[in-house]
Amino acid sequence: MVEGSGRLSGRRCLITGGSRGLGRALCTTFARHGATVAFTWRRHEAEAEATVAACAELGVTARGMCVDATDNRAVKAAVAELERELGGVDVLVNNAGISQVMPFALMGETDWDRVMEVNLRGAYLATRAVLRGMIRRKSGVILNVGSLAGVRWIDAPVHYSTSKAGLSGFTGSLAKEVGRHGIRVLCVAPGLLEGGVAGNLPEHRMAAYLQHCSLGRLGAFEEVAELAAFMASSPNSFMTGETIVVDGGV
């Protein structure tokens, strides 16, 4: 295994949407820090296999599960399978999400509903599925992947921004409810990242973002994944209910 801090040693982690992009970086970073990794994917089987291979290079056998984040039965079945095989889920990362570059005036109901269904309902379903086990064990971490667009007024698709703002609210309110069970709930809100939704932005919007970014660059998936690993770890045991922005200083 490539050397890591071991801060997630022994932790059983489920990462939704782990086949590529930030999801893959989360899987490999968590693996490098000692976690047992399972992840969901839906459409990109070859990408999912690449995530498994990347974890294998670190000495970790990752489990990829073909699950639609919006399918309640499939999500419940996947979590039940992990409960049987691993004995539980210690860390859930709600990473599965979609975006769509579209002006609000042209946005159809199906456009709005689909983004809300994946980004918000998907997080609700996965969290509900793992929560009973966490409550029974009196420990656990729910880490939601939000966005800078959910906490700052920036030029971003309205339905995407609204869904990510909802995740921030979900984080704070759920943290209040489950804290008495020893469960922490957090949200990491990245700015634009290399290889992420930034690839769909017009050149003038990218230039405007970089102009307002103190560091003058896009972030890397691995930078966000390292922060996520710390947020989910025991050394960070006194933080809950917070949305942490990592955006290079916008």
Among all residues, which ones are annotated catalytic? Answer: 160
Q: Are 144 and 187 in contact (CB under 8 A)?
A: yes
Under 8 Å between Cβ of 41 and 48: yes
Looking at the DSSP bridge assignments, the partners of residue 142 are 92, 185
76-104 in b/e burial notation, b at 16+ Cβ within 10 A?
bebbeebbeeeebbbbbbbbbbbbeebee
Quote the CA–CA distance of 63 and 43 in Å, as a whole number. 16
3-state helix, strand, coil in the chain (%, to 5): 50, 15, 35
Rounded to an integer, what distance in angstroms lies between the CA atom of residue 244 and that of residue 95?
15
State whether residue 186 is helix, strand or coil.
strand
Q: Is 33 exposed, middle or buried (0-12, 13-18, 19+ CB in 10 A)?
A: buried
